[in-house]
Amino acid sequence: MVGMPSDGEITFADHAGRFYARRFGMAPMVGRLIGYLAVCDPREQSVSQLAEALLASRSAIAGAVNYLENLGLIQRSRAAGERMDRVRIDMSSSHAMGFDVSEYREAADLAREGLHLLADAPPERRAILLEWAAFADFLVERLPVLEQEWKAHREALRAAGELPDDSATRQ
């Protein structure tokens, strides 16, 4: 049996819940789950363990797990012979690290749809959509470069011993 989380771990999870709710509009339980999975030991937890640790219902945890799994921020696994899934935070995807350009491609397409609608409008009426599309295009171009720079920087930190060589966060 895994021990109960410390007060500090729960406080951190609560702070993460407030951060993700305020910053990204996520349900507080989703943010709490992110925070707790970042500090819990062992790193892989069952839904029951998470519910007990976070004093939440299994259904609230299951909903948060599903939400985070759809975002690519957690992974589920099941050991041979076990009847329950275990979840852990997974920072290996471009989406999890904030480098996924698909949302910016969609934003640029949406702005261009609006520009098409306003094709005959004066430039000042089109200005917001022009900048919206230009900014989204800029991010689509720059994020892959930043991702490569981050990977090189991360490897340098690992080589210097400042970051562990952790396969759970590796791409």
Mean pLDDT of 1-13: 85
Whether residue 1 is predicted with pLDDT greater than 50 in this model: the reply is no
Q: Say if residue 121 is in the same domain as residue 81.
A: no
Q: Say if residue 106 is in the same domain as residue 151.
A: yes
How many Å apart are CA 2 and CA 130, to the nearest integer?
54
* Residue 50 C-alpha from the chain's centroid: 18
Domain containing residue 78: CATH number: 1.10.10.10
pTM of the model: 0.81
Q: What is the pLDDT of residues 65-86, one digit of tens each?
A: 999 999 889 998 887 777 888 9
Kindly report the number of other CB atoms within 10 A of residue 125's CB atom.
10
Q: Which domain holds residue 138?
A: 102-159
Inside any domain, residue 25: yes
Inside any domain, residue 96: no
What the block records as the tokens of 109 is 């397409």
Q: Say if residue 76 is in the same domain as residue 110.
A: no
